């Protein structure tokens, strides 16, 4: 589609909507950015879009922009050439169905960026592990190529970096199911689906629709491309039989004829001749789920032609994603891990499962009405002391005692909780911040909580 002089609706503001609008302005489109929240500041949104769109030298932008808030102006449908949806906006709204009836193309931000950008895309989706795998693959590619961008659901809109892309650029993209719903021609050179478990069913309504959205990542791939899949996921193993791309599997449970797998504690790349990549003991990320993320990144990088020595070196240096089972430091023989992003019991269970030492655990925080039974049961002999803070501390303590865990200490402040951890942890132990609760009440967000933990560790 020729975007110059096209009338384009960007549906939804936020960083994705504003970045998409900025790119469209550079392409010469006349844009209306619409958001149903009439409390937003239209002038601020417009000024941020203009800032996104500004070209070098501040020359006159070819496109125009206006901002509409509140009730959707239905009469606008007769003027539109294209709609670009922000990922957070459901695609089954009545007004979107009306657009389709009028044959107005409905794209997402990813489709727009792909249509306007240059370079090869390496794209990752899955229910869990996307951010870690994307971050690791991004580091591998940065050590292998000159022009590399890490974008997508990881917090950096793909559309925001399009003007900087070149023919030899590599775009490593984290893709959510929301973003994949609206792709049409998007074709990554290498794709990966890490796993599929029930999620976002309030948006997709059925598990089949959720799976279908995830599988769209490979919809336009051909036999010249690669698709990396988790062999231990039954849905994905079956999907591999119908993909047009060359399928590479990874597995933490068995040796594969062609793929990347765990042989004891050794990650093996068996895509051509079997080659030992590294031992899991050499990694700074812990847990089987992270070994799977690493294997997926290895398969993608190798398929794209990255030399094994670059892959191996990056794997050993990668410290993980900030605030996600992040190794902070070892002080006085005690290893400190920041899993502040463990803001619910399910996420925090992974933090405990990753520990390979007796662990002193900081838990508690804002009360989101969660149940903590499964989290407490996941302690499984690993947690030697539970230090509780925040609004949920009594509720968690009551649950723990009911389930037979009694090594509990209460703290009134985060600093006091940390001091108690230092007091109870012996050389050879770990201290883990993985609260199973949101941070509100004590901190603005989980990032601030994790940063405070790291600051206290560094002061030891």
Average pLDDT score over the chain: 91
Residue 225's pLDDT is 97
CA 129 to chain centre: 7
Lowest mean pLDDT, pick from 144-148, 194-198, 437-441 = 194-198
Is 132 a residue whose pLDDT tops 60? Answer: yes
**pLDDT at position 412 over 90:** yes
Q: In what order do the strands lie in the sheet with 326-331?
A: 326-331, 334-338, 430-433, 359-363, 383-388, 408-410
pLDDT of residue 450: 96
Q: Which residue has the tokens 């096209």?
A: 6
**What pLDDT digit, counting tens, does each position of 225-250 carry?**
999 999 999 989 999 999 999 999 99
pLDDT at 207 > cutoff 80: no
Task: Give pLDDT, residue 58.
Answer: 42
Q: How far apart are CA 15 and CA 31, in angstroms?
A: 16
Of the ranges 13-27, 58-72, 154-168, which one carries the lowest mean pLDDT score?
58-72
- CA dist 360 and 151 (Å) reads 35
Instruction: Give the pLDDT band of residue 384 (cuts 50, 70, 90).
Output: very high
pLDDT in the model for residue 277: 96
| CB-based burial label for 14 (10 Å; 0-12, 13-18, 19+) | middle
| Single pTM value for the model | 0.77
Band (pLDDT 50/70/90 cuts) for residue 276 is very high
Kindly tell me if the per-residue pLDDT of 93 is higher than 80.
Answer: yes
Closest CA to 367 of 417, 427, 438: 438
H or E element in which residue 451 lies: helix 446-458
| Res. 59 pLDDT band, cuts 50 70 90 | low
What pLDDT is recorded for position 57?
A: 42
3-state helix, strand, coil in the chain (%, to 5): 40, 20, 40
More confident residue, 169 or 96: 169
Instruction: State whether residue 55 is helix, strand or coil.
Output: coil
pLDDT at 116: 94
16: nearest Cα among 171, 126, 148, 176: 176
- Whether the pLDDT of residue 100 is over 80: the answer is yes
What percent of the chain has pLDDT above 70? 96
**β-bridge mates for residue 228, sequence order:** 192, 248
Given this model, what pLDDT does residue 201 score? 55
Range from 38-42, 44-48, 260-264 that averages highest in pLDDT: 260-264
Q: Identify the band that residue 198 occupies on the pLDDT scale cut at 50, 70 and 90.
A: low
Is residue 306 over pLDDT 60? Answer: yes
- Range with the poorest average pLDDT among 50-59, 100-109, 239-248, 302-311: 50-59
Q: Report pLDDT for 56.
A: 45
- What count of other Cβ atoms lies within 10 Å of the Cβ of residue 176? 21
Predicted pLDDT of residue 16: 87
Whether residue 391 has pLDDT greater than 90: yes
Mean pLDDT of 77-92: 88
For residue 255, pLDDT over 80 is answered with yes
Model pLDDT for residues 314-371, shown as the tens digit of each residue: 999 998 888 888 889 999 999 999 999 888 887 888 889 889 899 999 999 988 778 8
Indicate the SS3 state at residue 131: helix
- Could you tell me which residue, 55 or 389, shows the higher pLDDT? 389
Calpha distance 161→216 (Å, rounded): 23
Lowest-confidence segment of 59-68, 128-137, 269-278 by average pLDDT: 59-68
Tokens of residue 160, six digits: 């925001």
pLDDT greater than 60 at residue 55: no
Cα angle for residues 180, 340, 86 (degrees, 5° grid): 25
In tens, the pLDDT along 62-76 reads 778 999 999 998 999
Structure token digits, residue 143: 């050590």
Span 33-43, average pLDDT: 91
Of 172, 182, 165, 164, residue with least CA distance to 144: 172
Q: Can you tell me the mean pLDDT for 208-235? A: 91
């Amino acid at each position: 589609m020729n975007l110059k002089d096209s009338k384009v609706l960007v549906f939804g503001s936020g960083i994705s909507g504003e970045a998409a609008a900025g790119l469209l302005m550079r392409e010469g489109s006349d844009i209306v950015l619409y958001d149903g929240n009439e409390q937003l500041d239209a002038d601020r949104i417009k000024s941020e879009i203009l800032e996104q769109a500004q070209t070098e030298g501040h020359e006159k932008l070819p496109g125009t922009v206006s901002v509409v808030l509140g009730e959707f102006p239905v009469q606008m449908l007769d003027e539109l050439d294209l709609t670009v949806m922000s990922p957070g906006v459901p695609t089954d709204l009545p007004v979107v169905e009306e657009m389709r009836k009028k044959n107005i193309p409905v794209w997402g931000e990813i489709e727009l960026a792909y249509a306007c950008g240059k370079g090869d895309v390496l794209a990752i989706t899955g229910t869990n592990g996307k951010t870690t795998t994307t971050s690791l693959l991004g580091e591998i590619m940065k050590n292998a190529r000159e022009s590399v961008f890490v974008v997508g659901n990881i917090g950096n809109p793909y559309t925001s970096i399009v003007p900087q892309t070149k023919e030899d650029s590599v775009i490593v993209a984290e893709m959510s199911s929301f973003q994949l719903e609206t792709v049409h021609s998007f074709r990554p050179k290498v794709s990966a689906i890490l796993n599929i478990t029930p999620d976002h069913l309030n948006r997709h309504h059925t598990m089949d629709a959720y799976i279908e959205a995830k599988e769209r990542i490979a919809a336009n791939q051909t036999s010249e491309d690669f698709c990396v899949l988790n062999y231990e996921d039954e849905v994905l193993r079956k999907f591999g039989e119908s993909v047009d791309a060359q399928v590479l599997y990874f597995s933490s449970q068995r040796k594969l004829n062609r793929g990347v797998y765990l042989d004891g504690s050794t990650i093996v790349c068996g895509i051509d001749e079997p080659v030992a990549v590294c031992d899991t003991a050499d990694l700074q990320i812990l847990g089987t789920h992270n070994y799977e993320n690493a294997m997926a990144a290895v398969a993608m990088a190798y398929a794209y032609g990255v030399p094994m020595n670059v892959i191996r070196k990056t794997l050993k240096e990668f410290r993980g994603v900030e605030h996600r089972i992040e190794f902070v430091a070892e002080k006085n023989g005690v290893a400190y891990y920041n899993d502040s992003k463990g803001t619910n019991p399910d996420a925090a269970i992974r933090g405990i499962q990753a520990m390979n030492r007796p662990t002193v655990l900081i838990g508690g925080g804002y009360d989101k009405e969660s149940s903590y039974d499964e989290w407490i049961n996941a302690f499984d002999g690993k947690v030697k002391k539970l230090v509780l803070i925040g609004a949920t501390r009594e509720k968690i303590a009551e649950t723990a005692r009911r389930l037979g865990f009694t090594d509990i200490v209460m703290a009134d402040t985060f600093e006091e909780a940390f001091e108690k951890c230092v007091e109870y942890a012996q050389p050879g132990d770990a201290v883990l911040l993985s609260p199973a609760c949101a941070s509100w009440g004590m901190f603005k967000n989980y990032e601030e909580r994790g940063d405070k933990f790291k600051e206290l560790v560094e002061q030891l």
